[in-house]
Amino acid sequence: MGKYFGTDGVRGRVGQAPMTVDFTLRLASAAARVLAPEGGTVLIGKDTRVSGYMFESALEAGFTAAGVNVLMTGPLPTPAIAYLCRRMSTDFGIVISASHNPFFDNGIKFFDGNGDKLSDELEARIEANLDAPPITRDSSELGLAKRVDHARTDYEYFCRSTVPAGADFTAFKIVVDCSHGAAYKVAPRVMAELGADVIPIGSSPNGRNINLNCGSTRPELIQATVRGVAADIGIALDGDGDRVVMVDANGEIVDGDQLIYVLSLHAKESGALQGPVVGTVMSNLGLERSLQSHGIEFRRAAVGDRNVLAMLKDCGGHIGGEASGHVIDLAKTTTGDGLIVALQVLAVMEETGRSLAELAGDMPRLPQTLINVRSEAPVNVDAAPIRAAVEAVESRLAERGRVVLRPSGTEPVVRVMVEGDDAEEVAASAEEIAAVVRESSIAD
């Protein structure tokens, strides 16, 4: 990670560095120097945060002043911008979003003209230009800015095109939780257009309720709703629509690991699976064991969907992702797309006649406890007390489990994950390590 770019763009608390209008203006100018030095076109989308208007205006000013044309879509999922960059042949794209974070955070993510996230080298070059004064070209060379009215319908058509021809979801009663976020229009409409009986929730954004007690990070609402209306399935997206977790008819959560298993096994059985399946160091050991039992190779990347993407491309695979719901199918699109993943799972259900509970139930999950230890100051996870606590737990678990300890790239937290065969032992071990991390944070 760079000084400003983390695992998923630039992100932070609105009004605090780097998420200020001044920084955003300089970021636009620096990006123009690197990505469109001779002029060009940038596509800008956003989620539903109230601060999105402010950052959109700052980016528009910075880019047009630098001679870059600006196309603005308004609220659309992050993967929609990745797709539209390719469709509209723009030089690059930007999404204003802090994904699953609360409304008082925001961020800026970049895509290149192919809909891929920027390389580390390009991000470093942008950072190197941040201290230069913003560009203001002569009036005759300024960029133009306009809204793109057809962006949403273009993306909806693309989503529908990813399911098999003739797909008919009329048999499904579906609850769709849009997290009051960027997918609040497109997700219910796409499902309805494919015939499903759709019950939308989390679809009334007011600028301040994005991810608030709903969506993929707070699935309790959709669990209760699925049970309450006797739905066949629930689909919970996050604020920018690139994550999804699903809920079966019993109200039980089906996470990203299980969705990866369902899609990978179906792809293998249909002869469409290419290369290994890629997860991360946080992926449940049950996913690895289940895939291997079907002769499917599994590899682990560092946390972050860009790391999963990089490994998929290196090893020739096309399915991968994270338990959090970042699931990628490169046979369908270039980045994680919660709506498209949900459509593929529904297509498997329709083709096989099996429920989501039956499909996901074939993958047993090992007990796993994740504790996020919040700290406003950086924590050295290699400090002697922390390493000693980790080694003590690893020694006790031996071959029966594993420990993952890492600072988050998107939030000021240290993630402590312990996994093993015994749920009580796993939970106690995770808290044991987390307590030492908290003490180290206070001491620092």
Active site residues: 99
Find the angle CA(195)-CA(199)-CA(204) to the nearest 5 degrees.
125
Categorise residue 40: left if φ over 0, alpha if ψ from -120 to 50, beta otherwise: left
Q: Amino acid identity, residue 155?
A: Y
> CA-to-CA distance for 341 and 235, rounded, in angstroms?
10
CA distances from 122 to 20, 36, 127, 256 (A): 22, 12, 9, 29
Tokens at residue 82, please?
């990745």
Sequence-ordered list of residues with C-beta below 8 angstroms from that of 71, at least 6 positions apart, any chain: 41, 42, 43, 44, 88, 90, 145, 146, 147, 148
Identify residue 27 by its one-letter amino acid code: L
Cβ burial, residue 139 (10 Å; 0-12/13-18/19+): exposed
Exposed, middle or buried: residue 341 (CB in 10 Å: 0-12, 13-18, 19+)?
Answer: buried
Q: In this structure, are residues 434 and 371 in contact, taking their beta carbons and an 8 Å threshold?
A: yes
3-state secondary structure of 175: strand
Residue 323, Cβ density class (10 Å: 0-12 exposed, 13-18 middle, ≥19 buried): buried
Tell me: cis bond preceding 205? Omega within 30 of 0 counts.
no
SS3 at position 432 = helix
Q: What share of the chain is helix, strand, coil (3-state, %, to 5)?
A: 40, 20, 40
Coil, helix or strand for 50? coil
207 DSSP 8-state letter? S
> Do residues 100 and 218 touch, judged by C-beta distance below 8 A?
no
C-alpha 320, offset from chain centre: 12
